[in-house]
Amino acid sequence: MAGSSLLSKSDRRVMYGMVGVPTLLHVGLVWIPAIATILLSFTNWNGFRFDTMKFVGLQNYIQLFTVFEKDLYEALLNNLWVLVFLFLVATPMGILIAYLLDKNLRGTAFYQSLFYFPVVLSLAVVGFIWKSVIYSPRQGVLNVILGRTAEGDQISWLGDSSFLIPLGDYGLSKNFLALIAPMVWRHVGYIMVLYLAGLKSVDPSMKEAAAIDGASEWQLFRQVIFPSLKPVNVVIMVITVIEALRIFDIIDVLNNPVGTDVLSILVTESILGESSNVGRGSAYGVILLLSCLLFVVWYLRNEFRGLEEE
């Protein structure tokens, strides 16, 4: 890399512009709002005139953990369920499919295109597809298979908010699980592509050496391949957490207001709804921000480690 000191004065000026304009835009519309979220969370404000803004300290947070306790815990738990299913179901499935496709079986290109296909679609549209094709009470795949399409006998997959797994006052509601299924469906392909790229970079001689030593398929994966893919594993881990925290579209689009709220919905509620409470909305935003912070830092450390010395 050439040192910047070699540049002439006019070249330097060009360079400042090339870096400055994009940075201003990015900082102005992403980082300044991120900081402003934290500041606004300590205020009480309806969002209209600045002189109505009042500093209230921790009041919003105290309210979240008392008055709105039920909303908050329900949303946090729902985000956690998404994470659990993406992590324990979608991720292993994606890794397994990638592992098999890496062996160049017949039809690999076809399978790869097929499993990746949902990733190309918006989760909002995916929600509509599942709603009409899989969950439709009168003609959806599930009720047709179960023979429950007759009037009065239908199962309402997206409408049943009773708990499948109760945990005290909270739990995993049936309709929320119905929303998680399409998320998993879409996430598998994502993981598959990321892992496949990682597998292609594993030194083939390592696999051969292990095979000659008589290692079983599982031992080979567990002891040779998986550890050597640590950077990809971190990326997958972080992407999965962020996906689980960002989830919004499919829940908003299939708006069944009972029992399916997540953090992102609570943050936006006061903008899209009738009443406008910027302070409380921001406090929810801060909780969202804090939840992902650790993972963002972890990701940065993984990606930028060793770069300082270059």
Binders of other proteins among residues 99 to 128 (CB under 8 A) are 100-101, 103, 105-107, 111-125, 128
Residue 88 within binding range of other proteins, rule CB under 8 A: no
Spatial separation of the C-alpha atoms in residues 227 and 199, rounded to whole Å:
11
Residue 97 within binding range of other proteins, rule CB under 8 A: yes
Judge contact between 196 and 97, C-beta under 8 A.
no
Per-residue binding letters, 182-221, with other proteins (x by CB under 8 A)? x--x----x--xx-xxx--x-----xx--x-----x----
Residue 32 within binding range of other proteins, rule CB under 8 A: yes
Spatial separation of the C-alpha atoms in residues 38 and 308, rounded to whole Å:
30
Site for other proteins in 123-182 (CB under 8 A): 123-125, 128-134, 136, 138-141, 143-144, 147, 149-150, 182
Token pair of 94 as six digits: 């994606």
Site for other proteins in 2-21 (CB under 8 A): 2-4, 6-8, 10-11, 14-15, 18-19, 21
> SS in 3 state form for 170-233?
EEEEHHHHHHHHHHHHHHHHHHHHHHHHHHHCCCHHHHHHHHHCCCCHHHHHHHHHHHHCHHHH
Site for other proteins in 268-297 (CB under 8 A): 268, 270-272, 278, 281-282, 285-286, 288-289, 292, 295-296
Token pair of 75 as six digits: 């949303």
Whose Cβ is closer to other proteins: residue 91's or residue 282's? 282
Give the nearest distance from C-beta 14 to other proteins in angstroms: 5
Judge contact between 119 and 189, C-beta under 8 A.
yes
∠ CA 250-248-45, nearest 5°, is 140
Q: Which of 89, 155, 202, 249 binds other proteins (CB under 8 A)?
A: 249
Whose Cβ is closer to other proteins: residue 67's or residue 133's? 133
